[in-house]
Amino acid sequence: MIAESGHYALVLALGLALIQSVVPLIGVRLRDAALMNVARSTALAQLLFVVASFIALVMLHVNSDFSVANVYENSHSMKPLLYKITGVWGNHEGSMLLWVSILALFGGLVAAFGNNLPLSLCAHVLAVQAWIASAFYLFILVTSNPFLRIANPPIEGRDLNPVLQDIGLAVHPPMLYLGYVGFSISFSFAIAALMEGRIDAAWARWVRPWTLMAWIFLTLGIAMGSYWAYYELGWGGWWFWDPVENASLMPWLSGTALLHSALVMEKRNALKVWTILLSILTFSLSLLGTFLVRSGVITSVHAFATDPTRGVFILLILCLFIGGSLSLFAGRATSLKQGGLFAPISREGALVLNNLLLTVACAVVLFGTLYPLAMEMLADFKMSVGAPFYNLTFAPLFALLLLAVPFGPMLAWKRGDLLGVTQRLLAAGVAGLVAVAITWGWATGGSTLAPLAIGLGVFVIAGAVTDIVERTGLVRLPFATVLHRARGLPRSAWGTAFAHAGLGVALIGIVCETTWNSEHIATMKQNDVAQIAGFDVKLDGLLQRQGPNYREMIAQFNVSRDGQPVSVMTPSKRSFSTRGSSTTEAALLTRGASQLYISLGDANAEGAIAVRIYYKPMVLLIWWGPVLMAFGGVLSLSDRRLRVGAPKPARAKQRLQPAE
Amino acid sequence: MRRMMAAFALLMLLALPAAHAVQPDEIMSDPAKEARARELSRELRCMVCQNQSIDDSDAPLARDLRLLVRERIGAGDSNAQVLDFLVARYGEFVLLKPRFERQTLLLWLLGPLLLIGGAAALWLQIRRRAHDGVDVPAPPLTPDEQARLAALMSDESKAS
């Protein structure tokens, strides 16, 4: 019954989405407020039904109802409750259901908080959202129904892929989807603006909070996924330039560009056409990512050809939306009037440079991801594009970008004074150079570029600090005044500083980890001691343990430093009998921002075991950086000026402020 | 993240072995040669895996390739010779960093070309507009918007 209800709720959501696709637009044509308002009620009702459908699938998984194919294939009655729930989106059908649920959530949010939007804009936006939703509901119902029953229900399920049985699955995909799908709002706003033929600073102000929200989630989602790979895969890699990763990185790059160009549009009424284009591109890249991941085209062109139904369906959606929106853009963009003049050296100019570098970086990733596919299909030339290629092409672009980051927020709008800004950044530059010198003297081995990169990271952080120091007048003004000014500073200024500093922090982490990472690979017997980075790691022994749905072999290591015991580390290997596969559970010992990392290989007959021990200096900075960036994003989002999207709390707050 | 998300994409198509890469028994006695082997391994693709280098992969084929690389280095090959040997055997597919040649020209040149072209176009555009452009005034408010503005303004004045 639950499965059928869930299925039916999804069908009803499709019906509602179809109504929402058409009726509001008729309302706009007829200037009928009642018809336009249909969009908001259908969006909310749609959310209700999709959530009901999603809850139905969660219940089926929690109840281990193996008469449903999706539950049978991805669950097991002995699986811990958390993984029964997260297993809902640990498979194709369930994750698509999560995708549309989040899409409906965003639609519902616009409907709920959009009462300050002009009615016709709101109707347009929600209609476009409904087009996307309809396409994906159809996709799920036609090719990937999660509620399919099995005629003769088996008594036990086939369990979830062991690698996915981790807390990471609870956080990473929902976050990533909140980011991916969140960009659909800026897309819908862009299409609505093109259809209305009207776009102004107010439009940018409405779009920016939504973009920022999506960006925050995507940033955290990518960082979370990277940390998950780091501790789960057992060799401490955290980024692989894999097509699936690239699929999430591309919307992030263009989304970051969008965030910055929307700023120019809001403040200076310039870059309108470009902002619209970026909104379209960002969501198109999200769709492309969905296509790449869902169709299996990445594995090989041939895998795609053997079962093309899903792939072809998504490809159709892709062509329809990207092609349609770009043609609309081509037809209408010229009618949008440009405003806001600025000199090349100005805040606007800096943001244009940011956009140029981010877009080129995004294009490089896009090309690297699709080029091998295209060559195989068109020229029958099999080739690979992997990490070494991206390190060579992507890294220089980002280095240029980081070099420019501290200058941006300090340049004035319209016409900036580059020399003046350079003088104000002198202290930050000196800090960077000192960092280069110290690293150069202290470090042994490794690339000669590493100290320069560390210096760049320090420069970016110091630049962000300088901006705040300048704005609050620290050093030159009395402390009380500084405090007052700091409090008066718009939250978005703090947000910018934190987000930019986060970039520097992440860069330092990346450079330290890749350059001064030490490793020790050996076969160890009981009481063997391995020495790494000043630590003595002694293998105390091996023991076996039975988990809920796996058996695990645990190795116990005693870690000491200069004869002083530091900690006990217990990496393990788990074997899951249902799937006949195993996972390595690495043990991590955190010291400051650095980590000692132990993972196990195979044991041999004499009780010896292959062990990989790594010391990863400053590795945690890689993820603290994105967390700082996201924190900056949250600060910006809480800025009063940006909360026009949610007028009631903003107005209440305004009342509390003294009259100015 | 790659494995995880790949697992998403391909659930069950791939058996997921515990990734373990270089085994203790493979390591060469000469640290300098071993370092070269590791460096080369990171540039070579494990052909049965998904976009994984042989340095990262646990597949038997990756192990064979790692041993082969070490064998060639042991035999006194230079890095370029080792790569040539593997390309002759397995094709360009084995290289994670494609060579700069006719088929990959566009791939390598895209970034620099876009950057230079984009920068030039933008510079010209901005200069032209700054030189002879006129600031376009914002479009006038519609009556609807004017009414909303008036309402907001009266709200503000009541509040303060």
Place of tokens 């590493």: A450
Q: Positive or negative, the Cα torsion across A181, A182, A183, A188?
A: positive
> What pLDDT sits at residue A305?
55
The nearest alpha carbon in chain B to A337 belongs to B136
> What pLDDT sits at residue B14?
33
- Between B141 and A503, name the one with better pLDDT: A503
Instruction: Residue window 13-52, chain B: list those with CB within 8 Å of chain A.
Output: 13, 15-25, 27, 42-43, 45, 50-52
pLDDT, block means (10 residues), chain A with 660 residues: 94 97 94 92 96 96 93 91 92 92 95 87 95 95 93 89 86 92 94 88 87 95 93 83 90 96 86 91 92 73 62 89 93 76 86 94 94 87 90 94 94 88 92 92 79 95 93 84 86 93 96 89 90 92 89 93 92 87 90 93 83 93 97 89 48 42
Instruction: Residue window 379-418, chain A: list those with CB within 8 Å of chain B.
Output: 379, 381-389, 392-393, 397
The pLDDT tens digits for A389-403 are 999 999 999 999 999
> What pLDDT sits at residue A447?
76
Indicate yes or no: CB of B53 within 8 angstroms of CB of A386. yes
- Position A549, amino acid: N
A532 within 8 A of A518, measured Cβ to Cβ: yes
Question: pLDDT band at residue B16, thresholds of 50, 70 and 90?
Answer: very low
- For the cut 60, the answer to whether the pLDDT of residue B18 exceeds it is no
Backbone torsions φ then ψ of A5, nearest 5 degrees:
-60, -45
Q: Tell whether B108 is within 8 A of chain A (Cβ).
A: yes
> What pLDDT sits at residue B143?
81
Backbone torsions φ then ψ of A61, nearest 5 degrees:
-70, -40
Indicate yes or no: CB of B111 within 8 angstroms of CB of A360. yes
Instruction: Residue window 161-200, chain A: list those with CB within 8 Å of chain B.
Output: 161-164, 168-169, 172-173, 198, 200
Indicate yes or no: CB of A393 within 8 angstroms of CB of B111. yes
Instruction: Residue window 52-81, chain B: list those with CB within 8 Å of chain A.
Output: 52-53, 56
A579 within 8 A of A158, measured Cβ to Cβ: yes
> What pLDDT sits at residue A652?
42
Torsion angle of alpha carbons A133, A174, A69, A10, nearest 10°? -30
A57 within 8 A of A10, measured Cβ to Cβ: no
A208 within 8 A of A259, measured Cβ to Cβ: yes
Radius of gyration of chain B (CA): 29
Distance of CA A88 to the CA centre of its chain: 20
Q: 3-state DSSP: chain A helix, strand, coil percent, rounded to 5?
A: 65, 10, 20
Q: How far apart are CA A436 and CA A440, in angstroms?
A: 6
Query: pTM for the complete prediction?
Result: 0.90
Q: Which of B4, B15, B96 sits opposite A386 (nearest CB)?
A: B96
Counting beta carbons within 10 angstroms of the beta carbon of residue A605, is it exposed (0 to 12), middle (13 to 18) or buried (19 or more)?
exposed
- Rounded to 5°, angle at Cα A483 from A478 and A489: 120
Q: Tell whether B100 is within 8 A of chain A (Cβ).
A: no
> What pLDDT sits at residue A446?
67
Residue A581: C-alpha distances to residues A174, A305, A573 (Å)? 26, 28, 11
Give which of A552, A624, A542, A559 is closest to A596, Cα–Cα: A559
DSSP state of A341: -
> What pLDDT sits at residue B13?
32
3-state secondary structure (DSSP) of residue A385: coil
Residue B114, token pair as written in the block? 């876009």
- For the cut 70, the answer to whether the pLDDT of residue B138 exceeds it is no
Residue A125: C-alpha distances to residues A114, A201, A355 (Å)? 10, 17, 25
The pLDDT tens digits for A296-318 are 776 655 555 556 788 888 889 99
- Rounded to 5°, angle at Cα B143 from B141 and B148: 85
Q: Which helix (H) or strand (E) holds B126?
A: helix B105-132
3-state secondary structure (DSSP) of residue A166: coil
Window from B7-11, B47-51, B98-102 with minimum mean pLDDT: B7-11
A354 within 8 A of A401, measured Cβ to Cβ: yes
> What pLDDT sits at residue A302?
52
